[in-house]
Amino acid sequence: MSRQILIGPAEEKIKEFLSQSDPIEAIRSIQQDYGLDLDGIDASYPLLDLCGYSRLEIHLAVLEQLNKAVIDKINSPSFQLEDFYDIFERTFPYINIPQMQPIPMALLNKFERHIEDDILDKLKSDIAVFENCPLNIKKRIWKKDEAFFQQQMLSMLNDYHHDEGLQSLAMNLKPDSYQEVIEERRSHPIMLRVMEIIGGDPTLYVMFMEMIRLVFEATPYPSLCSLRVDILMNFHDQDVSEIYELDECHRLIWSLDTCVRNQNMDVAIISKIKECFDDVKNGTRLYGDFAMVLMDPLISNFLSSCIVRWLRNSVDEDAPENLEELINYNSKLLNLAQHAPTAVANNTKIAKLDKDLKGRFWNSLCQVIVSENSNPNTVLEPTVIRTIQELLGRNEVARKVFVQYLLDRVFENDVATLHRCLPLILSTMPSLEDTQDGLNILHIYTYKAFLRTLINTLVKKHLLDCVSDRRWRQSVMESFLLKTVEWDVSVHEQMVWLLAEFFYDAKYFMALATEHVAFIEEWANICALHGKRNEKSNKNLHNAYSMLLYRSSQILEGRLQIRPQAAIDFCRSIENE
C-alpha cells in the first residue's frame, strides 16, 4: 500500500487494507509504517502510552507544532515566491482537512496576489473551507462574484435585524442619552464585523450598500436604515475619505448626525440640510437613498420630537415667527422617510406632504396642547378627534409626532391628556397581518415602539401611580394597556413583566395595599385570558408569568401572593407539553 493514500480522503483504501488481514495486526502495521519518522520515537511511544496518550493525540500535537513552525517560516522575509509555488502545490489538495489547513491558508494570506482564479473557484465551492479563508482571499472572491457576496452577507443582515439589544435601542422613542445610543449602535459586534469585512475597500462598500438597498426593497425595516447610517458615520469618524467621499449621502447623514448628537435643530443646520437636496430630483435613486437615511429611527424620532417642541412653543403669545417654517420643513423630511419603502423599491416620486397635516392636524394637536392638565372630564371637540383619528390612520408623520407628544405627557405626569388621547391610539391600531405594505410596516413599528417606550417609562416613573392612583389605573392601565395586549405578543410579554416589577423592589411592594394586590391579580388574569400569543412566544410568556407568580409568593411571607387562575393554567399547559 502506497504511503500517500493515508493522507486525505483514503477511507475506502484503509477499509480494504484492514479487511485483507487481522485488524489488530493491520493497525500495528499502519502504526509501524506510518508513524512519526523521528529519532527515538519508537522508544518514546511506550512511555507516552503509559501516560495515557493515544497515537492520535500524539500525532496531532506534533502536527500542531509542525504547522506553527512552517507558518512562522512562511511569514518570515526569507520565504519567497519560488518557495510558495512548491509548498502550495503539495499542500492545497488537503485544504479540506481541518488539521491540514493552516499551512495552505497561511500561503493564501501572504501570496494572495499570485492566487489564480481557478483556485478561488475551488475555495468558494466548499463553504466550510471558504469560511476559514483569510479575509483578503474572501474579498477577492466576493468582488469576483457579487451574488455570492450577497448570499454570504444576508445572514449577517438577518442577525442584525433580529438582535434584541439593537431592537431595544431602536424602539426606545425617548432614550436617556442619544450619545450613548449612538455609541452602542456603532460599536456593536455585528457592526464591527461589517467594518472589518469592508475595510477601506470602496468596491466592497458599494456592494454592501447595494445589498442593503436590495433587502430594503423586499423588507423595508428601519433597522436597515440604521445600518446604512452607522456604517458611513463609522468610516467618517475613522477618517476613511476613500469611503465617505464616495457616498453621496455623506453630507446629509453628517448634518443629521450632528443634530441628533447635539439635540438641536435650528435655522442654520436646516439650511445645510436643504443644501444636500440641491440638484437632487424627486424620483431619482439618490432621493430614495435620502429617504432611507431619514427613516433611521434615531433620526426620525429626533425630527418628530423637534416638531412637538415647536408646536408647544407656537401656542405661546410670544412665539417666534419662524416656527411654522421649521415645523413644515421637518414634516417634509419625515414625509420622505414615510415613503422610503416605495421610493427605493420603485424609484417613484415621493408624494408631497399631506395638506391635511399642515392644514388640520397641527391645529388639532395645538388644541390638545392648550387643554393640557385641565379637568379630566374635559372632552376634545368632535372635529379635533376626527382629524387626529383620520391622520393617525393614514399618515406616518402624524403618528410619529403624536406618540412623541403622548410620551412627553407621561413624563410631565399629565394623566388628563393621556385620558383624552390614548383612545385615539387604540382606535387606529393597524393589522399585524399585512406586512407587505411598507407604510403598514412603519405604522406597526411606530405603535410597537410607542407601547414599549410607554411601558418602560411607566416602570421607571409611574409604577405605583398605575395601581394606586385611580386616574392612572383607569386611563392608562385598564382602558388602554390591558386592551393592547390583545394586539401584539411583545406587548403581552412586556405587560406581564410590568406586573412583576411591583414585587421586585421594597419601595414598591411595601406600598401595596390589599386592594392594589387584587388589581394586579385581576390584570394578570386579563393578560393571560386575552393577551395575544403564539407558539414562538409561549416559552418567554411562561418565564414571565412564572417569575410574576414566584416573586409575589416570596416576599413578606407570602402576604402579597397573587393566584391569577388563567395565568396558572397557562403555565401548567406549557409545562405539560
Q: Decide if pLDDT at 36 tops 80.
A: no
Overall average pLDDT of the 203-215 stretch: 95
pLDDT exceeds cutoff 60 at 110:
yes
Identify the pLDDT of residue 320: 78
Q: What is the mean pLDDT of the chain?
A: 90
Q: Give the tens place of pLDDT for each residue, 373-389.
A: 777 778 889 999 999 99
Say what percent of the chain tops pLDDT 70: 93
Residue 303 pLDDT class (50, 70, 90 cuts): very high
Whether the pTM exceeds 0.75: the reply is: yes
Q: For residue 204, give the C-alpha cell.
A: 466592497
How far CA 143 is from CA of 7, 136, 190, 297, 348, in Å, comes to 33, 11, 21, 31, 30
pLDDT of residue 439: 66
Residue 318, pLDDT score? 72
Q: Residues 54-83: pLDDT tens digits?
A: 767 777 887 888 889 999 999 999 999 988
Cβ neighbors of 410 (< 8 A, separation 6 or more) are 418, 454, 457, 458, 461, 462
pLDDT tens profile 150-171: 999 999 999 999 999 999 999 9
For 517-553, what is each residue's pLDDT tens digit?
999 999 999 999 999 998 888 999 999 999 999 999 9
Per-residue pLDDT, averaged over 433-458, amounts to: 85
Cα-only R_g, the chain: 32
pLDDT top residue among 23 and 256: 256
Greater pLDDT, 119 or 6: 119
**What would the grid cell of residue 390 be?**
383620520
CB contact at 8 A, 502 and 508: yes
Question: 442: pLDDT confidence band, cut at 50, 70 and 90?
Answer: confident
Which residue did the predictor score with more confidence, 94 or 449? 449
Residue that wins the pLDDT comparison between 20 and 36: 20
Rounded to 5 degrees, φ, ψ at 76 are -80, 155
How far apart are alpha carbons 15 and 428 in whole angstroms?
71
Q: Are 305 and 404 in contact (CB under 8 A)?
A: yes
C-alpha cell at 167: 431592537
Provide the 3-class DSSP secondary structure of residue 315.
coil
State what percent of residues in the chain have pLDDT above 90: 72
pLDDT band at 35 (very low <50, low <70, confident <90, very high): low
Angle at 533 between CA 528 and CA 534, to 5 degrees: 145
In whole angstroms, what is the distance from residue 355 CA to residue 392 CA? 14
pLDDT digits (tens, 9 = 90+) for 466-509: 999 999 999 999 999 999 999 999 999 999 999 999 999 999 99
Please say if the pLDDT value at position 176 is more than 70: yes
Q: What value does the mean pLDDT take over residues 556-563? A: 92
Summarize pLDDT for 128-144 with one digit per residue, the tens: 999 999 999 999 999 99
Lowest mean pLDDT among 16-20, 119-123, 380-384, 410-414: 16-20
Find out whether 541 and 492 touch, Cβ atoms under 8 Å. yes
Cβ atoms of 20 and 26 closer than 8 Å? yes
Q: Residue 9 pLDDT > 60, yes or no? A: no
